[in-house]
Structure 1
Amino acid sequence: MELSYPITYIGDIATALKDNGINNYIILNQTLALIYADKKFNENILDKIKQVTWWQEARPMSSMIEINRILEGGETVTNASGTNYIYDNPYISVSGEGIMIAIIDSGIDYLHPDFINDDNTSKIISIWDQSSSKGTPPEGMIFGSEITREEINKAIKEKDSTLSRDNTGTGTIAAGIASGNGRKNALYKGVATKSELVVVKLREYEGLFEEGKINYYNTDFLAGIKYVIDVYKKEKKFLVVNLSIAEKSRAYVLTNLLDTFEELKNPGVIVVSGAGNEGNTDIHYEGVFKDKKSPHDIVIEVGLQKLLDISIASNGPDKIGAAIISPSGEMSYHATYEPENDEYYGKFILEDSPYEMRYSYPWLLSGNEELLMRIINIKPGIWTLRLFPEVLISGEYDIYLPNQNLIPENTRFLDPNSFATITLYGATESVITVGAYNDKTRSMWIGSSKGPIKGRGVKPDIVAAGVDIISTFINQGYTTSTGTGVSSSLTCGVIALLMEYIYQQGPTMRKLLFTKVLKTYLMLGATQNEIYTYPNSSQGYGVLNLQNTMKAIASKI
């Protein structure tokens, strides 16, 4: 696996990188760039390039869609989204026409009839297959192949499935929920049936933490965001970006790297993210120091895996040191904040497990401390994380393991906390964050991540159906799936309908086509159960209700 890094920069970064022998890079915008390098790359060189203001090794991401692979007992998208109110109403004529929905996931089965129009042309504007070497990369990119609508249309005519393949199926599921037209089976159509798709098939990496588990990287994901924006500029259509994959959860977030893309703040561009699938996965621990005298010991059970990442975040200006104690009783270095030393390396001799610790203070995305600890060749057993209070104001801290679907089920905190488990990209106000609701039981799906974002308010914003939803699948089939990526996909389709409806009302109403404004209308229209207080950390402002939201918008016309 090659190494990759997101970096923020000032000045002429292209010249600066080339002058330092770095030739594989992608400039995403005026602030953010990506570097790709081989395993021998000395990343410390980045500290010496004055144009580089911040850098970080690529972080793993994983899917927020769990594939059930059965149809029995599934719920149709139509019932889950309430779109009969739209499609059966003679006075409302919207279907998502003129709206692009971006799917950045595992790809798409472009031969599925539900992505083919009645004239046998594709609903897909283009695909960037990051793992393909058959064609040329999109402009400004350095890997993968761009597949145009013309090429897809030709493949449809010839029944050629070799242009790009979705080997996992989650991308095809997300696309079908948001946009599938139901040509193969009208019962299983998606939400915005005449919307169009722009698709990024992310490169897959296997076995980072555990053999057989697939992960993505945030560098490739951010490159996908850049590609989607480039297509949006060319097509000059409204855009809804669906985030159905997730980076690690975070409790303290002021911003994220999506905020560097100014185009995502434009009217007519909406970003929707799943809240995360970590609500019952034991990957989060929350603690508070009462004094500066006593360290805290946090117990982690570790299963059979290759390595483990542990992230520690403090609240506010607090500084916390840390060490790891292995099952055999060896203790690592005591990592503590020192301006001239932010990296520690060592090895547990008896376990034969090297480790590294990276200190960030302040961390770019929160302004707080972030300490990342990685144990390589980690052995199964009970490991203890020992935290040392150094500078305390609030004393609060949060610790996270990787997303559960990347690690063994028995790797977990023994005393976990299910709150503050919202994924990083769903944690800011610039994104509509959606949790997963179970329509069958009229209750939250147990795996849906919970808020809050500490010091920043309530998340998720709303919740939407996300359990056993029927959608398109690979090999021109259908399946059911569950997760907050399902809920975000459904919400993206609903937003496409709302955007078309608002656009139809004329220029004065188009001022509503901003993320924060549409988010407010979704909140106003959400269904609330009288036994709960809203907003809350599980459901946000309530359950997505398309009919009520349409009425709330209509009342302003």
Structure 2
Amino acid sequence: MPSCEERIYSNDYFSALLDFWPLEEEIDNITERYCYMKISDILGALVIDKRLLTSLSYTDYTYRLLPKLYAPMQNVSFPLLKSGIIQVQQPPLSLTGRSVIIGIADSGIDYTLPAFRREDGSSRILAIWDQTIPYESTSGAADQSENADEADRMRRWNDDRVEKRRTLDVPFGTVYTRAEIDEALRSENPFLKVPSRDMTGHGSAMAGAAGGKVGEEIYGGAVDAEYVIVKCKQANRDLRRFYFIAQEAEAYSETDIMLAYRFMDSYCEPFRKPLVYCLGMGSSMGPHDGTSLFSEFLNGMALKRSRAIVVCGGNEGNQAGHFAGEGDQDVELRTGEGVDGFTLEIWGSIPEIFSIIILTPGGESTAVLSSIVSNSKRITFIFEETVIYAEAELAEQSSGRTLMVLRFERPTPGIWRIKMRNAGMFHMWLPVKSFLGGEVFFLQPDPEITLTEPAYAREVISISAYEDATGAFWGESGRGYAADGQIKPDFAAPGVDIPVPGRAPLALPGPNGAENMNDLGRFTVTGSSMSAAITAGAVAQFLEWAIVRENDLFIKGREIKSYLQRGAAKEAGVEYPDRRWGERDIIVPS
């Protein structure tokens, strides 16, 4: 029987979320048949053999429990000055994030960069959990070794790793501690000892924008903060197929992201230091009102003392991926050539029960599809190859609102029309742009309510992006408010042409793992993930003042947000809060 870890990495198994905690005897039974991973006291994930599944659908698993996929929010004048970050690094405050930890779950980190090392060369990274590197036992190799000393060394090393794995309670992957990272940095070929790499550079860019420093060159506010990093594994093949996302696209399952946050929280507990989480990924699938499962999870973490969560608002503002309407209305959607498929979500309002008719570019139409019918429907056409899978939930479990999900397979290029009937206020959302394999957009889009999930979570600090050089709002940035009128985003921060430390082009392994370690540089990155990273650095500076310097020892996320609102810069003649700016530019209160 495969181990739990082998099942997690295998495409023969599928992961679904549970929003309840099974009884102890149920866990034992589940473990024999499946594999259970605890995320929180009331949240976990089941890894299930696909042969036991009838299908992958919302009808079988409910919309709430089928993991959504998240994309990095990056598009591949000095912003820190305007935000007040540089000023508070100077006397008399001298706030640099000392004794504060920044947690980032993303594509990993290039731990060899000078920006993440102290002056003595040691690492500022407390740990890296690399979800992509399976744990490998050396006990078998030790038994086969003819050298007794070597076999004994391998057994002791394996025992240490097993104990570390048990203590850290990670269900898969490999954790590298600061001691191991420092040992790797002292070696000629660091990646032979700690083979964790950031293959896209996105995670490293975020860490740099939050607290990077090379000599006298400052990239982020929290230049003395430490890091806990999780390199998330890519979503498996079946989830990608379900959502029609290309295998080469960067896509992360919310299950793995939530596990990452659980790890960061538990790993940092013994250090008794403030912790700032920073999320630079997002999804346009969800209720957009702060009630999603991921939002609930983050709200619970943000209410802990000495914790803050900063979430980017996404880059979907000008992607024509949102439509808002009311009553009977025809909605037009254009698809281009070469699109394999896409998902469209229709969210109604309580207590309305709507119905739709879909008209193809060739003039065919579906029967009436009602949101009251919850079973899955497979719709085909006579003259077109397109297949539409339609599923509905009259009262979606998280929000209570009516939801219909349409999955288009091999959509015919041209104009599709969705005739809404008996609807009150409704919203439609397409996936984030990077998940679409081509041209898919609404002909009359609404740029509002385009923040990505989970930026609508009430207790997190949600950030939109603007261009520091001009002071103008960045058009690609997501915008509020929430679908229920909740005020989001909370703030705006610089997100265009943000300088970050890095390595270009991305270094590839040479012989025996050796690399050119001198191909360092200063690069610029654009995206709301950079806005979130800059804000995370500012929040780390603030937590140094509040907790480390004992000015407000019991502070938590809600109070941190309140402090920042009081220091936010506002322009005369503009009414705040604003759908684009929130409370305007993030300023570290001084």
Q: What is the TM-score of this pair, normalised by structure 1?
A: 0.87
Rounded to whole Å, the distance in 2 between the matches of 1:234 and 1:41 is 41
Look up the match of 2:6: none
Shift of 1:478: 2.9
Do 1:303 and 1:411's aligned partners in 2 also have CA atoms closer than 8 Å? no
1:142 maps to a residue whose letter is P
Look up the match of 1:554: none
Residue 152 of structure 1 aligns to a residue in which SS? helix
2:260 maps to a residue whose letter is G
Relative distance call for 1:333 and 1:131 in structure 2 (3 A) is farther
The one-character-per-residue Cα deviations of 1:473-502 (angstroms, maximum 9, x if unpaired) are 245433111111110100000000001111
1:166 aligns with 2:198: yes
Look up the match of 2:81: 79
Rounded to whole Å, the distance in 1 between the matches of 2:33 and 2:450 is 36
Relative distance call for 1:377 and 1:522 in structure 2 (3 A) is same
Q: 1:287 aligns with which of 301, 306, 325?
A: 325
Shift of 1:30: 1.9
1:193 aligns with 2:223: yes
2:531 maps to a residue whose letter is S
1:451 aligns with 2:480: yes
Shift of 1:364: 2.6
Look up the match of 1:148: 177
Residue 500 of structure 1 aligns to a residue in which SS? helix
The one-character-per-residue Cα deviations of 1:390-423 (angstroms, maximum 9, x if unpaired) are xx5xx10000000012214521111111001111
Q: Which range moved further: 249-258 or 477-486?
A: 249-258
Rounded to whole Å, the distance in 2 between the matches of 1:522 and 1:303 is 46
Relative distance call for 1:533 and 1:5 in structure 2 (3 A) is same
Look up the match of 1:71: none
Q: 2:267 aligns with which of 218, 223, 231?
A: 231
Look up the match of 1:265: 303
- Count of aligned residue pairs for this structure pair: 525
Do 1:8 and 1:53's aligned partners in 2 also have CA atoms closer than 8 Å? no
1:35 aligns with 2:69: no
Relative distance call for 1:20 and 1:43 in structure 2 (3 A) is farther
Within-5 A mapping of 1:200-349: 200-205=230-235, 208-210=244-246, 212-248=248-284, 252-256=288-292, 257-260=294-297, 262-289=300-327, 294=328, 296-332=330-366, 334-338=368-372, 341-349=374-382
Relative distance call for 1:43 and 1:490 in structure 2 (3 A) is farther
Within-5 A mapping of 1:484-523: 484-506=528-550, 509-511=552-554, 513-523=555-565
Rounded to whole Å, the distance in 2 between the matches of 1:455 and 1:14 is 41
Shift of 1:522: 1.3
Q: 1:405 aligns with which of 434, 452, 460?
A: 434
Do 1:311 and 1:370's aligned partners in 2 also have CA atoms closer than 8 Å? yes
Relative distance call for 1:323 and 1:165 in structure 2 (3 A) is farther
The one-character-per-residue Cα deviations of 1:56-91 (angstroms, maximum 9, x if unpaired) are 322121111222xxxxxxx545435433312332x2
The one-character-per-residue Cα deviations of 1:201-260 (angstroms, maximum 9, x if unpaired) are 111258743464222221211111111122122332211010100021656424233423
Rounded to whole Å, the distance in 2 between the matches of 1:43 and 1:120 is 54
Look up the match of 1:4: 15
2:465 maps to a residue whose letter is A
2:271 maps to a residue whose letter is E
The one-character-per-residue Cα deviations of 1:129-155 (angstroms, maximum 9, x if unpaired) are 111125576744433221221221111
Look up the match of 1:362: 395
Look up the match of 1:536: 578
Shift of 1:520: 1.5
Greater share of helix residues, 1 or 2?
A: 2
Do 1:218 and 1:247's aligned partners in 2 also have CA atoms closer than 8 Å? no
Rounded to whole Å, the distance in 2 between the matches of 1:304 and 1:271 is 39
Q: What is the TM-score of this pair, normalised by structure 2?
A: 0.82
The one-character-per-residue Cα deviations of 1:308-343 (angstroms, maximum 9, x if unpaired) are 00011112222222343333333345332346x332
Shift of 1:43: 6.0
Q: 1:56 aligns with which of 65, 77, 90?
A: 65
- Higher alpha-carbon Rg: 2
Relative distance call for 1:16 and 1:373 in structure 2 (3 A) is farther
Do 1:302 and 1:412's aligned partners in 2 also have CA atoms closer than 8 Å? no
Shift of 1:304: 2.0
Unpaired segments ≥5 residues, structure 2 = 1-10, 137-160, 508-519
Residue 271 of structure 1 aligns to a residue in which SS? strand
Look up the match of 1:65: 74
Look up the match of 1:70: none
Look up the match of 2:451: 422
Do 2:332 and 2:415's aligned partners in 1 also have CA atoms closer than 8 Å? no
Rounded to whole Å, the distance in 2 between the matches of 1:514 and 1:54 is 31
Rounded to whole Å, the distance in 1 between the matches of 2:174 and 2:386 is 39
Relative distance call for 1:97 and 1:419 in structure 2 (3 A) is same
Shift of 1:127: 1.0
Shift of 1:452: 0.8
- Alignment RMSD, CA only? 2.8
Rounded to whole Å, the distance in 2 between the matches of 1:182 and 1:212 is 33
Rounded to whole Å, the distance in 2 between the matches of 1:322 and 1:6 is 30
Q: Which range moved further: 369-378 or 527-536?
A: 369-378
Within-5 A mapping of 1:456-471: 456-471=485-500
Relative distance call for 1:16 and 1:149 in structure 2 (3 A) is closer
Rounded to whole Å, the distance in 1 between the matches of 2:248 and 2:58 is 35
Relative distance call for 1:450 and 1:327 in structure 2 (3 A) is same
Rounded to whole Å, the distance in 2 between the matches of 1:377 and 1:17 is 43
The one-character-per-residue Cα deviations of 1:164-200 (angstroms, maximum 9, x if unpaired) are 11111110000011121324xx324321011111111
Relative distance call for 1:245 and 1:414 in structure 2 (3 A) is same
Relative distance call for 1:254 and 1:22 in structure 2 (3 A) is farther
Shift of 1:459: 1.0
Shift of 1:543: 0.9
Do 1:252 and 1:315's aligned partners in 2 also have CA atoms closer than 8 Å? no
Rounded to whole Å, the distance in 1 between the matches of 2:502 and 2:370 is 49
Residue 40 of structure 2 aligns to a residue in which SS? coil
Shift of 1:116: 1.2
Do 2:207 and 2:533's aligned partners in 1 also have CA atoms closer than 8 Å? yes
Rounded to whole Å, the distance in 2 between the matches of 1:130 and 1:379 is 38
Do 2:479 and 2:579's aligned partners in 1 also have CA atoms closer than 8 Å? yes
2:72 maps to a residue whose letter is S
Rounded to whole Å, the distance in 1 between the matches of 2:270 and 2:336 is 49
Rounded to whole Å, the distance in 1 between the matches of 2:231 and 2:198 is 8
Within-5 A mapping of 1:387-406: 387-389=420-422, 395-406=424-435
Q: Which range moved further: 39-48 or 363-372?
A: 39-48
Do 2:340 and 2:437's aligned partners in 1 also have CA atoms closer than 8 Å? no
Rounded to whole Å, the distance in 1 between the matches of 2:66 and 2:124 is 36
The one-character-per-residue Cα deviations of 1:252-272 (angstroms, maximum 9, x if unpaired) are 424233423644311110011
Shift of 1:97: 1.3
Q: Which range moved further: 373-382 or 11-20?
A: 11-20
Greater share of strand residues, 1 or 2?
A: 1
Residue 142 of structure 1 aligns to a residue in which SS? coil
Rounded to whole Å, the distance in 2 between the matches of 1:61 and 1:83 is 29
Do 1:123 and 1:195's aligned partners in 2 also have CA atoms closer than 8 Å? yes
